[in-house]
Amino acid sequence: MDFALSDEQAAIRDLAGQILADRLPPERLRELETSDADWFAADVWAELAKADLLGLCLPEAHGGGGYGAFELGLILEQVGRTVAPVPVWATLALGALPIAEFGTDAQQAELLPQVVDGNLILTAALSEGSVGLPPEVPATSAERTADGWVLTGTKRLVPAAHLAGRALVPARTGDGTSTVFLVDPGATGVAQERNTSMNGEPLTTLALDGVAVGEADVLGEVDGGAQVVAWIVDRAIAGLCAVQAGVCEAALRTTATYTSERKQFDTPIATFQAVAHRCANAYMDTEAIRLTAQQAAWRLDAGLPAAEELAVAKFWAAEGAERVVHAAQHLHGGIGVDLDYPVHRTFRWAKHVEMTLGGGTSHLQRLGAMLAAG
C-alpha cells in the first residue's frame, strides 16, 4: 500500500485532531475525571457529530460519508492522541459498521441516522470473561419463543454500555452456532454492573435474565453469528491499534517537550545520548504501530485477507506500546506519576488498549498458528 495520505484523508485526520485537542486539553480531562460526567464529554461528542465525523464511515444513503475502516482509523488515532473520553470506537467499530454491513434496511434506516447525528451510542457485548478474543460459540443462549427470542447469560467488559441505546449481543442458538441480536442495555431483564478500566473508562457486566427480543432484532442471519462476530473483531482490532498509535504519539510528544526543557548541569537532558536513544526507539515503535494498523485497515477496506496483518498490528500495539509508555514514564522521572501532569494518562490508556481483545501474547500465538497452517 501507499502510506501517503490523500488530501481528503489528511483533512479528516486534521479536523478530528483539531476538535479533540481544542475541546479536551489536560485541564478539561482532569475536570471530567473528577466530576460526574461518567467518562463522557457530551459537548465534544456533539461537536464530532456536527463536523460529520461520526457518520464519516457510514453509508451515504443514511447521511454518512461512505468512507471505510482506514478513515475511521485516522479518527481513532486522534482519539488516542488526545486520550478523549468519547465512545467513538465502541459506537462505530463495534456497532454502526456491523449494522451497515449486516443490518436490514429497516435496522439501518432506524439506527444509522441517529449515530450520524450523535443521538445514539452503540456497543457490542463480545466478551464472556475469557482472556483474548471472544469465544467462537458464546455461553449466552437464545431460545425461540412465539414472538421472537429470549436471551440468558452474562457479558463482561462491555464498553460504553452505560451510554448505549443498543448493544450487539452474540448468543448461542444452535449446536455450535450463534446469532447476533440488537439489545437495549436498559431493557427489562438486563442488569448492569459497572467496572472501571485502567484508563478510567466504565466497562459494564451485562447480566441477561430472560431478555425478550423480536425477530426484527436479529442482526444478519440466524445461526450466522460467527461470521458477524469475526467481521466485527477484525474492525475492532484495526481500530484499537489506531487508537494505540495516537496514545503513543501523545506520550512521545509530551516526553520530547519535557526532555527538551528539563536541564541537568545547565544542559537539556534531551541532548544526553541515553535519553536521545530511548526517544528514538520510542519513535520507531510508534511508527511501527501506526503503519501496521494502517496496513491492516487498508487490507480490510480492499477486501483482501488481513488475518496475519491484524495479528501483527495487535502485537505491535501491545508490545511496542509498552516500551513507548514505559520510556515516557522513566524519562519524566518522578513527575511521571503526578496526576496533575498529563503523561500518566497515556500509560493507563496504553495498558487498557493492550488488554482489550487480548494482549500481545494471544495475538502472537494466533499469528504463529496461521503461519504453521501454511
Domain that holds residue 329: 227-373
Residue with cell 478523549: 84
The answer to whether position 133 is within a domain reads yes
Q: Burial level of 123, CB count in 10 A (0-12/13-18/19+)?
A: buried
The answer to whether position 2 is within a domain reads no
Using CA atoms, how far residue 113 sits from 15, 65, 108, 211, 278, in Å, is: 21, 12, 8, 26, 46
Residue 54 corresponds to which cell in the numbers above?
461520526
Q: What pLDDT, on a 0 to 100 scale, did the predictor assign at position 271?
A: 81
Size (the chain), residues: 374
The answer to whether position 192 is within a domain reads yes
C-alpha of 247 from chain center: 12
CATH number at 97 reads 1.10.540.10
The answer to whether position 313 is within a domain reads yes
Residue 200 and residue 346 in contact, taking contact as beta carbons nearer than 8 Å: no
Residues 6+ apart with CB under 8 A from 260: 268, 270
Using CA atoms, how far residue 260 sits from 158, 269, 273, 282, 331, in Å, is: 40, 7, 13, 16, 11
Domains: count for the chain? 3
d(CA 362, CA 374): 19
| Whether residue 143 sits in one domain with residue 206 | yes
The answer to whether position 65 is within a domain reads yes
From the first residue on, what is the mean pLDDT of each consecutive set of 10 residues in the chain (374 residues)?
87 98 96 91 98 97 97 98 98 98 98 98 94 88 96 97 98 96 98 95 97 98 97 98 98 91 83 89 97 97 96 95 95 85 95 89 85 86
| Whether residue 81 sits in one domain with residue 187 | no
The answer to whether position 1 is within a domain reads no
| Whether residue 51 sits in one domain with residue 11 | yes
d(CA 79, CA 16): 8
| Whether residue 219 sits in one domain with residue 158 | yes
Last residue of a domain, one of 223, 241, 256: 223
The answer to whether position 132 is within a domain reads yes
d(CA 55, CA 302): 20
| Whether residue 94 sits in one domain with residue 29 | yes
For β-strands 122-124 and 166-174, DSSP reports them as: parallel
Last residue of a domain, one of 185, 203, 223: 223
This prediction's pTM: 0.96
Q: What pLDDT, on a 0 to 100 scale, did the predictor assign at position 1?
A: 62
d(CA 373, CA 335): 48
Last residue of a domain, one of 64, 92, 119: 119
Q: What pLDDT, on a 0 to 100 scale, did the predictor assign at position 366?
A: 85
d(CA 141, CA 15): 43
| Whether residue 350 sits in one domain with residue 257 | yes
| Whether residue 234 sits in one domain with residue 353 | yes
CATH number at 152 reads 2.40.110.10
d(CA 370, CA 374): 7
Question: Among residues 284, 179, 175, 263, which one has the least CA distance to residue 227?
Answer: 179
Residue 343 and residue 255 in contact, taking contact as beta carbons nearer than 8 Å: yes
Using CA atoms, how far residue 74 sits from 9, 97, 242, in Å, is: 8, 15, 7
CATH number at 337 reads 1.20.140.10
